Amino acid sequence: MLERLWNGWRSSYVSSLEPESDEPGQGSLFTRILATGLSDDETNIVHRGPHCFVILNAFPYGTGHLLVLPYREVANLHDLDLGETTELWSTVTDAVAAVTAAYAPDGVNVGLNLGRAAGGSVSEHLHVHVLPRWIGDGNFMTAVANTRTIPEPLDETAAKLRTAWPRLTQS
């Protein structure tokens, strides 16, 4: 089993969200984050577009782990409308550019887990993972102690990625 190091700085973020409810209509974790009215700095939202937004993974595999998703809560790619589909994939491209500019990784993983059986932990609200990777990033802590270390607080990661986010050029 993979262990995690205790990160006390995460408690303010976790406690700022409404607790999950079994009542219908409460929405996914992402819908609830958006509904809090908290600032993008407080929620670690890195970018907002008309149909999609980008947020840091609260429990990242590594530094710079982004999630790109539509505002509208849908479970499947075929549930997206044309505007959402177009913006989702262009935003994924921008997210790869941002993590590449901010962190100069050796590679980038991009992927979706559609449905709980595929590993989707929030399967009711599709999201694309964008994760910078480095040769040797599965270090001794993962191999020996079954633990991942995240060396940078999420607010610092968010600030770096916002600065590195591609800007539209005016013609």
Catalytic machinery residues: 127
Sign of the alpha-carbon torsion through 136, 123, 93, 157: negative
Cα distance between residue 12 and residue 42, in whole Å:
9
The answer to whether 42 and 111 have CB atoms below 8 angstroms apart is no
Contacts 24+ apart (CB under 8 A), 16-19: 16/42
Cα distance between residue 3 and residue 17, in whole Å:
24
The amino acid that residue 113 corresponds to is N
Beta-bridge partner residues of 61? none
Q: Indicate the length of the chain as a whole number.
A: 171
Characterize the bridge pairing of strands 107-111 and 128-133. antiparallel
Cα distance between residue 22 and residue 126, in whole Å:
19
Which residue's entry shows tokens 């670690």? Answer: 44
